[in-house]
Amino acid sequence: MDEYKTNLIIRAKNGDNQALEQLLKGEETNIKTMIFYLKKNWEDINDIVQNILFKVSVKIKQLNNPNSFKSWLNQIVLNTYYDYLRKNKKYSKDLYLDEKNETNYYNIADYSTNPSQRILDNELDFVIKTSIDNLPIHYKIPITLREIQGLSYSEISNITKTTVGTVKSRIARARALIKNDIDKYIGE
């Protein structure tokens, strides 16, 4: 982590609201992208992100080590996401899927009436997003933490309470599953 950001975290932790605002603004895109890939549709994304940012602003004083900010933040992101799943049972089946569905990925989600369509403006992006949507949750979380948040295997293992070896194999498996969908799309 760079010195500027560490300084920002320390200031936010000590009650500097301007630093906190700047810190949250800097994290918002990553958090929103993470939730976008964890969820199957755009519904409630802004609410979930605002909830996360609120929790961060309230709990930042409890952060012991500024260097562990990213892991700490992502723990909040995941806990909030799990809370959301529990409260919205229609999505909770995502928690227990062990195998990827072999369904036609064009039929999985309807992006035509929500902001996702503006974001996923080409077919390959749509295929990759849908492929991630269909991953079992224990693959989806490590790969999004790696790809979007840029966390190390060790940081992901701490957050997911698994071994580094498990994290590596789950990420490798997730990439292989996404690769299969890309292959289908490209027509290899």
86, 93, 179, 184: which one contacts other proteins (CB under 8 A)? 179
Question: Residue 124 in contact with residue 182, Cβ under 8 Å?
Answer: yes
Options 11-19, 26-34, 103-111, 156-164: segment touching other proteins (CB under 8 A): 26-34
Nearest distance, CB of residue 153 and other proteins, angstroms: 9
120, 135, 151, 156: which one contacts other proteins (CB under 8 A)? 120
1, 87, 154, 172: which one contacts other proteins (CB under 8 A)? 172
Determine, following the binding rule CB under 8 A, whether residue 147 of this chain makes contact with other proteins: yes
Our CB check for other proteins shows the closer of 110 and 125 to be 125
Our CB check for other proteins shows the closer of 93 and 179 to be 179
Options 66-74, 95-103, 125-133, 156-164: segment touching other proteins (CB under 8 A): 125-133
Determine, following the binding rule CB under 8 A, whether residue 43 of this chain makes contact with other proteins: no
Alpha carbon distance 13, 19 (integer Å)? 9
Size of the site for other proteins (CB under 8 A): 26
Q: Any long-range contacts for 152-160 (C-beta under 8 Å, 24+ apart)?
A: 155/70, 155/71, 155/74, 158/71, 159/71, 159/74, 159/75, 159/78
Alpha carbon distance 53, 31 (integer Å)? 9
21, 43, 83, 183: which one contacts other proteins (CB under 8 A)? 183
Our CB check for other proteins shows the closer of 15 and 115 to be 115
Question: Residue 88 in contact with residue 172, Cβ under 8 Å?
Answer: no
Alpha carbon distance 70, 77 (integer Å)? 10
Interior/surface letters 82-106, b for 16+ CB within 10 angstroms, e for the rest: eebbeeeeebeebeeeeebeeeebe
77 burial type by CB count under 10 A (0-12 exposed, 13-18 middle, 19+ buried): buried
37, 81, 91, 139: which one contacts other proteins (CB under 8 A)? 37
């810190």: which residue's tokens? 23
Q: Which residues bind other proteins (CB under 8 A)?
A: 28-30, 32-33, 36-37, 115, 118-121, 124-125, 128-129, 147-148, 168, 172, 175-176, 178-179, 182-183
